[in-house]
Structure 1
């Protein structure tokens, strides 16, 4: 089938040359990237709401990516790539014709028992790549269900953002710890929904690129 052939192209190792015109109907639209996109629920719902933007999921699990590619056949403002975003984010996103306006990193690797494993993808090289490629005024949305992980991530973002990133609080309701009380998009990832359903807390943060 065409679908299977099309999907297999984007299960190759990256970096590689990407034909954005084949992926998106209009590759000049603003781009939103979800790192660790899982089963794609967040991207599917966001893309359905915002057809004036393109959405790209980067997920290391090839089976999940294959499922997402099969599920979104014919929809031209969302796509998924099987890759390790820590090492390929810069090469993939730098080739995109439009502007990068949002990066989201939401509770990656929720199946790991040790909290320190959950954010192992957020290394200095990835933070620097996001900072370099994000447009001024663009945002990074971070959330975790483990407070210690969220705190450490906030520290890393500010440290490796080289003064270009700042915590954005003015537009949102925040608790005493400085975390956003609600998901600012009104759309939850599958793991976030799982945590909320069991009565657990979420620690959310919105970062703004100021220069």
Structure 2
């Protein structure tokens, strides 16, 4: 099944080939914290996450205990000196079976389940790179990748605002897709500078993304979604907002937000947020002109 993204107008074939099994057909009740069904059964978001990713069978891969069950800090300061050194580019040929395939980069990949699901369900069409600033999550994600025997996905511990350019500019194939899904909101105004979507990062994405490549930004916090939108909307010389994806059912509302999840599966944060009754704000961009 063809992944429901716009076909690139030129240069790189960035359209994905994945299942769209969750095309607006799976609606979570709008409620708080944990949901209670009509039969009185409580529904926890962790149970919904396991259900969503059941085909990965990751529960059987939770050993050893120090890798399988990690306790992490929810908020990290990316401006800390400990995150200021760019990471070295890996040996792409040693990581991927074919390092010339189009690359998808998930910025702030969290636990990695979302990207692993994509990689497992699209093993021959592209490579996947997850970038995460919390090292324990990266260690566990890489453990899962090794146990599943996947050679089209890799996770790295990195501060994207420091390391993104260094990493993607050395990748042998085209950068075809970038996702920034529910990043840390850093609510306090004085901490907004910690937010991941800053102009230098967007400039680097616009520079390295192949013509026809796409960017998906998403948040369950309206203010954060607007913030990301404003930064990308300002790059009209490079990006075009995708109002209608491949003439399919994935249209936008009157405010320009995608009405459905176009990825074929939800992120863990998405599942938690929808269970609590939150709205998910998504916006898609396509590179239509070369970066100047």
Same fold (TM over 0.5): yes
Which residue does 2:127 correspond to in 1?
A: 54
SS in 2 for 1:72: helix
Are 1:206 and 2:258 counterparts?
A: no
> Which structure is larger by alpha-carbon Rg, 1 or 2?
2
Are 1:197 and 2:275 counterparts?
A: yes
Instruction: Count residues in correspondence.
Output: 197
SS in 2 for 1:208: strand
What residue ranges of structure 2 are gaps of 5+ in the alignment? 1-84
Alignment of 1:1-211 (within 5 A): 14-51=86-123, 52-73=125-146, 74-109=149-184, 114=188, 117=192, 120-159=195-234, 161=235, 163-171=237-245, 172-211=250-289
Residue 156 (structure 1) shift? 0.7
Root mean square deviation of aligned Cα? 1.8
Q: Is the contact between residue 184 and residue 195 of structure 2 (CA under 8 Å) also seen in structure 1?
A: no
Larger RCO (CA within 8 A; separation ≥ 6): 2
Residue 57 (structure 1) shift? 0.2
Which residue does 2:72 correspond to in 1?
A: none
Q: Which is strand-richer, 1 or 2? A: 1
Q: Is the contact between residue 114 and residue 266 of structure 2 (CA under 8 Å) also seen in structure 1?
A: yes
What residue ranges of structure 1 are gaps of 5+ in the alignment? 1-12
Q: Encode CA deviations 1:120-166: one digit per residue, 9 max, x unaligned.
A: 1111110000000000100000001111221121111122x361011
Q: Is the contact between residue 109 and residue 117 of structure 1 (CA under 8 Å) also seen in structure 2?
A: no
Q: Bigger CA drift: 83-92 or 119-128?
A: 119-128
CA 1:118–1:63 in 2, change beyond 3 Å: closer, same or farther? Answer: farther
Q: Is the contact between residue 179 and residue 205 of structure 1 (CA under 8 Å) also seen in structure 2?
A: yes
- TM-score normalised by L of structure 1: 0.88
